[in-house]
Structure 1
Amino acid sequence: MNDLEFLNAFESGNFPPSLFDHGAHLRLAWINLKQYGEEKAIENVCQSIRNFDALHGDGSKFHTTLTVASIKTVNHFMQKSKSHQFADFIREFPRLKTSFKELLNQHYGFDLFFDPKAKNEYVAPDLLPF
């Protein structure tokens, strides 16, 4: 699937939920960042994932801080990237897929995955700003 097909499938709800993994989350961020920049990407991706969760789940899986932090992290690496395709970008920065939690741990001194406040609203990093 090219980026436009991926985005259209996701936003229309036709993307298979079983394929929405961490890599797909990163790709959604990457596509939106390329098209809109960080601020609009955050707005778009958060809304798209909320909609996807409501359509394919019970609406309880969306995590605000994790999503925003993912977009900010992808944006950071995009600023250093020479890649024009998502697959090349991930090959250039494999830690985004293989060590993402460790990347977040450089910014957060608490486990944001289990923090109820972080789930419902964006919590800025307490260790190192993005």
Structure 2
Amino acid sequence: MSTGELSDAEFLAAVEEATYPGDKFGHRGHLRVGWLCLRAHGFEAGLERMRALLRDYATALGAAEKFHETITRAWAERMQAAVDETPELGSFEVFLAAHPELLDSRMLSRHYRNETLSSPLAKASWVPPDLEPLPSR
């Protein structure tokens, strides 16, 4: 199963119910959750929804320790800037085609030193970038 085999509603429901296979939920799955949440709720509420979905999904799969606050918010910031740039794009696949840079899971290394993202503080709470600022939203 890939994230593209399900409708947006089915995908979100599968993540929310933790029935989406954990071994298939990679970077693209995280992006899709973010895109859906940000488009539906705007930045602040979308970020809260994204956090809850990802934290609960990881917990349900027995991997609660994988949730990382700074990484989640930094990706939400990057994605919101892209959504703001192209709000008319109505499908996730079209959105990714317009913003292929988001598919680079190492993108945050432009904004953060590895030591910063690896820190317990960054995992538990928001830490602003220490290299290059995130795009304005």
- TM-score, normalisation: structure 2: 0.85
**How much has 1:129 moved relative to structure 2?**
4.3
SS across alignment from 1:79: helix
Gaps of 5+ in 1: none
Structure 2 residue aligned with 1:94: 100
Which residue in the other structure is 1:83 paired with?
89
**Quick one: distance in 2 between partners of 1:129 and 1:67?**
13
* Structure 1: 4+ residue segments shifted above 4 A: none
The residue aligned with 1:105 is 109
- 1:107 offset after TM fit, Å? 2.7
Unmatched 5+ stretches in structure 2: 1-5
SS at match of 2:128: coil
Aligned residues with identical type, % of pairs: 30
Q: Report the Cα offset of residue 105 of structure 1.
A: 3.2
Amino acid across the alignment from 2:111: H
Q: 1:21-60 alignment to 2 at 5 Å?
A: 21-60=26-65
Q: Is 2:133 the counterpart of 1:116?
A: no
Which residue type is aligned with residue 121 of structure 2?
K
Cα root mean square deviation, aligned = 1.5
* Aligned AA (1:114): S
Q: Whole-Å Cα distance in 2 between the matches of residues 101 and 24 of structure 1?
A: 15
SS at match of 1:57: coil
Report what 1:7 is aligned to: 12
Output one character per residue of 1:55-98: Cα deviation in whole Å (capped at 9) or x when no partner. 1023111011000111111111111124210001111111100x
Letter paired with 2:51: C
Return the offset for 1:113: 3.5
Q: Which amino acid in the other structure matches residue 125 of structure 1? A: P
**In structure 2, do the counterparts of structure 1 residues 125 and 25 end up closer, same or farther at CA, with 3 Å as the change threshold?**
same
